[in-house]
């Protein structure tokens, strides 16, 4: 798995964790009939994933996650879907699927 | 989620009338592949890993033969509902004697807040609460008939 894939995986996993750690959300899921979520299992997967990630991306991701609750944002039509700023044309990477950093909010950007 | 929004996630190309596979992970793969083919999912492997991880942390079977796997993911840019049926039934939760015959995969983009995503999931679960509706969903001959049931119950 590539560095990009690992970081995207971490982002999706952190969304799962956000739901699993929130008592109100989990209570709501239980009322809907879902079984209890095993937070520890998700956290173990997170640890395994962290061990495979480059410190450079992890630092930026972690800082933005602490600050906003999200470490990474997708880019659509050159707009950062984290802070909704329009990114300069020069910020567009040549290849799709590349990671960069949002100069406005600091989130890792995923260009697809 | 409003009625019109639920209607907008219904797409005839996101319907699997009878699943080929029976193992949970394979079923998720089959449904994701369908959604990928329809252009609703851009990173199928990422989505599969996310959904499998949720299942490992806790089953998404909600009783009465219904499972509602769900996720917010970077792999989707619009909310989507993938509807699948299994005539033979699936062993979704180990030890659960009731086989799952209806799988409703609810997908939200990563930007959607957790509460908004759960509103969507609650709508989907709610649509299957009545035995009459589950029966209609299982017996529907076409996607239009499936969509009609889902629209009717959230109206
Ligand atoms: Zn930004």
Q: Which pLDDT does position A64 carry in this prediction?
A: 97
Confidence of residue A98 (pLDDT cuts 50, 70, 90): confident
Question: How many domains does chain A contain in total?
Answer: 1
**Which of A8, A12, A34 is opposite residue B58, by nearest beta carbon?**
A34
Q: Which pLDDT does position A68 carry in this prediction?
A: 95
% of chain A exceeding 70 in pLDDT: 99
Annotate chain B with DSSP letters as a single string.
--HHHHHHH--GGGEESS-S--SHHHHHHHHHHHHHHTTS-S-HHHHHHHHHHHHHHS--EEETTEE--EEEETT-SS-EEEEEEEEEEE--STT--SPEEEEEEEEEETTS-HHHHHHHHHHHHHTTSSHHHHHHHHH-SSHHHHHHHHHHHH-
Q: Which pLDDT does position A107 carry in this prediction?
A: 97
Q: Which pLDDT does position A80 carry in this prediction?
A: 96
Residue A30 pLDDT > 70: yes
**CA distance to partner chain B, nearest, from residue A68 (Å):** 12
**CA distance to partner chain B, nearest, from residue A90 (Å):** 24
The answer to whether the Cβ–Cβ distance between A38 and B57 falls below 8 Å is: yes
Ligand 1 midpoint to CA B110 (Å): 15
**Would you write out chain B's pLDDT as a tens digit for each of its 155 residues?**
554 556 667 888 899 999 999 999 999 999 999 999 999 999 999 999 999 999 988 899 999 999 999 999 999 999 999 999 999 999 999 888 899 999 999 999 999 999 999 999 999 999 999 999 999 999 998 989 998 888 876 65
Q: How far apart are CA B32 and CA B40, in angstroms?
A: 9
**Which of B74, B115, B121 is opposite residue A110, by nearest beta carbon?**
B74
The CATH number for A92's domain is 1.10.287.1490
**CA distance to partner chain B, nearest, from residue A45 (Å):** 8
Q: Which pLDDT does position B153 carry in this prediction?
A: 67
Q: Which pLDDT does position A94 carry in this prediction?
A: 83
Residue (of B139, B129, B119) closest to B5 by Cα position: B119
Residue A74 pLDDT > 90: yes
% of chain A exceeding 90 in pLDDT: 79
Mean pLDDT of chain A: 93
* Domain locations in chain B as residue ranges: 3-154
Pick from B41, B43, B54, B57 the residue to mutate for testing the A interface (most A CBs within 10 Å).
B57
**CA distance to partner chain B, nearest, from residue A34 (Å):** 5
Q: How far apart are CA B137 and CA B9, in angstroms?
A: 16
Domain that holds residue A63: 3-111
The answer to whether the Cβ–Cβ distance between A74 and B61 falls below 8 Å is: no
B118 phi/psi in degrees, rounded to 5:
-65, -30
Homologous superfamily of the B3-154 domain (CATH): Mannitol-specific EII; Chain A (3.40.930.10)
DSSP type of residue A71: S
Ligand 1 midpoint to CA A101 (Å): 8
Q: How far apart are CA B84 and CA A60, in angstroms?
A: 40
β-strand pairing of A72-76 with A108-111: parallel
Q: Which pLDDT does position B87 carry in this prediction?
A: 94
Structure tokens at B108: 């939200």
Contacts of B91 (CB under 8 A, 6+ apart): B22, B24, B99, B100
Higher pLDDT, B117 or A1: B117
Q: Which pLDDT does position A29 carry in this prediction?
A: 95
The answer to whether the Cβ–Cβ distance between B125 and A32 falls below 8 Å is: yes
**Cβ-Cβ contacts under 8 Å, A30 against chain B:** none
Instruction: Say if residues B90 and B27 touch (Cβ distance below 8 Å).
Output: yes
B interface with A, Cβ–Cβ < 8 A, is: 42-43, 45-47, 49-50, 53-54, 56-63, 68, 71-75, 77, 93, 109-111, 114-115, 117-118, 121-122, 125
Mean pLDDT across A8-36: 94
Ligand 1 midpoint to CA A85 (Å): 6
């Amino acid at each position: 798995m590539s560095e990009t894939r690992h970081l995207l995986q971490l982002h999706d996993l952190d969304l799962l964790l956000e739901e699993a750690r929130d008592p109100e959300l989990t209570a709501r899921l239980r009322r809907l009939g879902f079984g209890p979520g095993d937070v520890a299992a998700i956290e173990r997967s997170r640890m395994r994933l962290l061990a495979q990630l480059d410190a450079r991306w992890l630092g930026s991701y972690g800082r933005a996650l602490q600050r906003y609750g999200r470490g990474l944002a997708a880019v659509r039509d050159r707009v950062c879907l984290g802070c909704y700023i329009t990114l300069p044309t020069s910020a567009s990477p040549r290849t799709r699927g590349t990671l960069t950093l949002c100069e406005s909010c600091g989130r890792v950007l995923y260009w697809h | 989620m409003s009625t019109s929004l639920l209607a907008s996630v219904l797409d005839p190309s996101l319907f699997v009338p009878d699943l080929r596979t029976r193992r949970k992970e394979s079923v998720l793969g089959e449904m994701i592949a369908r959604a990928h083919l329809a252009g609703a999912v851009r990173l199928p492997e990422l989505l599969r890993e996310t959904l499998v991880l949720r299942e490992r942390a806790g089953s998404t079977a909600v009783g009465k033969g219904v499972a509602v796997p769900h996720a917010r993911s970077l792999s989707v840019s619009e909310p989507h509902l993938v509807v699948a049926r299994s005539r033979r039934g699936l062993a979704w939760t180990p030890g659960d004697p009731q086989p799952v015959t209806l799988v409703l995969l609810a997908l939200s983009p990563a930007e959607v807040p957790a509460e908004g995503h759960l509103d969507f999931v609650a709508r989907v679960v709610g649509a299957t609460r009545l035995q009459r509706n589950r029966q209609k969903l299982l017996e529907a001959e076409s996607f239009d008939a499936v969509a009609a049931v889902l629209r009717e119950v959230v109206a």
